[in-house]
Chain A
């Protein structure tokens, strides 16, 4: 910019010549310059104002936009960090020893109604009854048109049913997510798994609680979020359980029994590989408990754990084992079993009034002589007998991991007289569950240690306190083997598996006291296999079986429980990975003398 001088010489000289005041020119120029300066300042200020205005406008726009966005969007908590590992809130699965699923969860939906939001409540009720025939239309109509603001319609829906309810198109019918317990194997191991139902229910979720069996016993552990969904590993083997239940069902039908139970247990770890009770039920649709009549007639009743029965002669081996252990007798000691034998005025008889005469202790077991074991028991005395049976866990409920186990309280005689000592030595007067018996036989099979039956997978042997010497256990095992090879359980022989065991036939006591039924029995076969290296005990109990192939109906365990147990061993032992041992053994003494 060319700056105009305040006193331009040309104009000053010109003014002087004309006699004008040159200061006027200067003042004029000064004024013009001030005006120019003022204009410039003004335009600059205006520009700044404009910039300011634009900035404010932008700032307000941003604030406005943000407010609008906040108002229009859903509120969100400010986050400083991502949440940790997501919590798995669902109930843990239950799996068998090989990880096969026995109980798991399924996502499903529940259906509830908000009658005040309904457009056509009458049509909705009609359509709902078409989908779910079990609903009561009048009831629905009353609820939908009445004053209720909320009501459950159904707890669980299948996806197809959900779609059908959607198709009604009624805004007052709403769905809530649900997690339901699913037992994919149906009735298999039903008594162990028990069942589950909903606890506290909300619209968005409901808690699943165990109602029976192991589901209830481990309810807290299964629901614990700290598990992070780690499944509960059972000792059961699904395949073996299925095979055992199948054989047991076949045996029960064939022998016209009203119920049956079996327990297969590892003698070293106490792991129960399979435990069955028939009749059974589907835990997905658990029946209601009986409100009248005998609870043991309900399919919910677990005969293997809750059912306490007089298990008969299977107890004899405990008396002989204790007598051997105390050094009172050896397997070859002769005992006179001839009649008469009276204890506290009661005669002690044999099966079918037989008379075996003098028998060795071993033969007392093989022939199952009541008088023989009775005499052994009298030698042992009642105090020592009680202590021994208690150490085998026969006086208390088995601490088994299902809630029903506490109900398996053995029934002891109210007064333990000499007659009780004698009758209990052959299994009458003391009622225990098949599971108790399994634990007792496991002690004989594993060399003399008590093992506690468990449903949880174990890492290794869990031998408890010693209850008899190893020698006694081995001698008792030999007797059990002889019962099968030459005694009452000859049908129990399974080629290659060296089964040993003891039969037991007990008359059923009348429900209201007053003696025993004549034609109702509980037949039991308690077996150990293979006896040369015992690994498993198997107890099979049949309730009121009768074998009708002969002229007269047979009700002894040798004809009923033993063949069923043998068939079960035949089916189950290969599945357990046991090779049959058919070849001649013990070739170790043969020495190759020439090459």
Chain B
């Protein structure tokens, strides 16, 4: 009976130790994964910053103005002027849809020469 108790205790200790180490390793793994993700975030952020800077640089007003001038033939872009504001009642209503043809008559020009 006593040896049984010893064996049980021993097995419990081993089991607990195994569990504890297992959890520890899982935690370490999670930590290193978090670190890797954070490194990814940092890289992504750096990349994003560069892309944002590039976007801002490519969209700077000077460049857009020059591009609008170079491509004037195709785009015809002009600075916004006060007379470009319209009113709602200046816009035409869409043309009413044509009525559907309900009783079509077959017309053929075949043999019209005769």
Report which A residues bind B (CB closer than 8 A).
79, 81-82, 86, 88, 90, 100-102, 104-107, 182, 184-186, 188, 238-239, 242-243, 246, 494-497, 570-571, 573-575, 579-580
Residue numbers in A under 8 Å from B55 (CB-CB): 101
Report which B residues bind A (CB closer than 8 A).
28, 30-31, 34-35, 38, 41-42, 45-46, 49-50, 52-53, 55-57, 59-62, 65, 79-85
Residue from B35, B42, B56 within 8 A of A100 (CB atoms):
B56
Q: Known contacts A574-B84, A580-B82; is A82 also within 8 Å of B61 by CB? A: no
Assess the B80–A185 pair: CB atoms within 8 A: no
Residue numbers in A under 8 Å from B79 (CB-CB): 243, 571
Q: Known contacts A100-B56, A238-B61, A243-B79; is A86 also within 8 Å of B42 by CB? A: yes
Most chain B CB atoms below 10 A, which of A185, A239, A573, A575 = A185
Assess the B50–A107 pair: CB atoms within 8 A: yes
Shortest distance in angstroms between A248's beta carbon and chain B's nearest beta carbon? Answer: 14
Assess the A188–B61 pair: CB atoms within 8 A: yes
Q: Known contacts A106-B50, A107-B50, A580-B83; is A184 also within 8 Å of B34 by CB? A: no
Residue from B34, B61, B65, B80 within 8 A of A574 (CB atoms):
B80
Shortest distance in angstroms between A213's beta carbon and chain B's nearest beta carbon? Answer: 18
Assess the A82–B34 pair: CB atoms within 8 A: yes
Assess the A580–B85 pair: CB atoms within 8 A: yes
Assess the B81–A574 pair: CB atoms within 8 A: yes
Assess the B82–A574 pair: CB atoms within 8 A: yes
Residue from A104, A243, A570, A580 within 8 A of B53 (CB atoms):
A104
Assess the A574–B53 pair: CB atoms within 8 A: no
Assess the A101–B56 pair: CB atoms within 8 A: yes
Assess the B82–A497 pair: CB atoms within 8 A: yes
Shortest distance in angstroms between A404's beta carbon and chain B's nearest beta carbon? Answer: 24
9 example contacts (A-B, Cβ-Cβ < 8 A) are as follows A82-B31, A86-B41, A106-B49, A107-B49, A182-B53, A185-B61, A188-B62, A242-B61, A574-B82
Assess the B82–A186 pair: CB atoms within 8 A: no
Q: Report the separation of the CA atoms of residues A79 and B56 in the bound assembly, to the nearest whole angstrom.
A: 41
Assess the B81–A105 pair: CB atoms within 8 A: no
Assess the A570–B38 pair: CB atoms within 8 A: no
Shortest distance in angstroms between B109's beta carbon and chain A's nearest beta carbon? Answer: 55
Residue numbers in B under 8 Å from A570 (CB-CB): 81-82
Residue numbers in A under 8 Å from B34 (CB-CB): 82
Assess the B80–A101 pair: CB atoms within 8 A: no
Residue numbers in B under 8 Å from A571 (CB-CB): 79-80
Assess the B53–A242 pair: CB atoms within 8 A: no
Q: Report the separation of the CA atoms of residues A496 and B85 in the bound assembly, to the nearest whole angstrom.
A: 11
Most chain B CB atoms below 10 A, which of A90, A182, A496, A497 = A182
Q: Report the separation of the CA atoms of residues A186 and B60 in the bound assembly, to the nearest whole angstrom.
A: 8
Top 4 closest pairs, chain A to chain B, by CB:
A242-B61, A184-B56, A101-B56, A580-B82
Residue numbers in A under 8 Å from B52 (CB-CB): 101, 104
Q: Known contacts A494-B82, A574-B84; is A82 also within 8 Å of B41 by CB? A: no
Shortest distance in angstroms between B84's beta carbon and chain A's nearest beta carbon? Answer: 7
Residue numbers in B under 8 Å from A184 (CB-CB): 53, 56-57, 60
Residue numbers in A under 8 Å from B31 (CB-CB): 79, 81-82
Q: Known contacts A79-B31, A82-B31; is A106 also within 8 Å of B82 by CB? A: no
